[in-house]
């Protein structure tokens, strides 16, 4: 499985969780989807990046943004996902009432925005692909 396929799976899960009223789980899955979409391109341009094992979507977005300029700056959305990647994971937070249908819908929209950026603005070059697939440590 690839990061991109994982991202698609988490996206579907986020949508499913929202549909059945599990908004906190939907937000968490949305954040995970966003992270995996970003990692899917970072892995192509820097396959040995040790930070691929981390959950720092802000770092991944900045790295991509430096190579692939964006039509729309997504940093506010990425920061929101980074925050709720942790907050939505655990129920011991004081602000559980924030998790409602509108909040979950916002995160599902963020997935679409990030996927659009990855699919349309982050065009891998031949050099990027050669770097990834000629690496001895290919996974």
The CATH number of whichever domain residue 99 belongs to comes to: 1.20.120.330
Q: What is the pLDDT of residue 50?
A: 94
pLDDT at 139 over 70: no
Residue 14 maps to a domain: yes
Residue 138 maps to a domain: no
Residue 117 maps to a domain: yes
Residue 32 maps to a domain: yes
Q: Which domain holds residue 59?
A: 3-133
Render pLDDT for 6-33 as a digit per residue (tens, 0 to 9): 999 999 999 999 999 999 999 999 999 9
Q: Please count the structural domains in the chain.
A: 1
- Average pLDDT on 120-133 reads 77
Q: What is the pLDDT of residue 121?
A: 92
Residue 19 maps to a domain: yes
Residue 82 maps to a domain: yes
Q: What is the pLDDT of residue 91?
A: 72
Residue 139 maps to a domain: no
pLDDT at 137 over 60: no
Q: What is the pLDDT of residue 124?
A: 73
| Residues 29-65: b if buried by 16+ CB within 10 A, e if exposed | bbbbbbbbbbbbbbbbbbbeeeeeeeeebebbbebbb
């Amino acid at each position: 499985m690839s990061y991109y396929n994982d991202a698609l799976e988490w996206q579907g899960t986020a949508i499913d969780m929202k549909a059945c009223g599990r908004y906190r789980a939907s937000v968490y899955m949305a954040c995970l989807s966003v992270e995996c979409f970003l990692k899917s391109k970072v892995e192509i341009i820097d396959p040995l990046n040790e930070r691929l094992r981390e959950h720092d979507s802000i770092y991944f977005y900045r790295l991509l943004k430096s190579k692939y300029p964006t039509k729309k700056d997504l940093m506010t959305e990425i920061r929101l996902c980074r925050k709720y990647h942790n907050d939505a994971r655990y129920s011991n937070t004081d602000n559980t009432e924030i998790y409602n249908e509108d909040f979950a819908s916002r995160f599902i929209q963020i997935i679409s925005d990030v996927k659009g950026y990855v699919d349309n603005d982050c065009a891998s070059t031949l050099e990027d692909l050669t770097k990834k697939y000629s690496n001895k440590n290919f996974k």
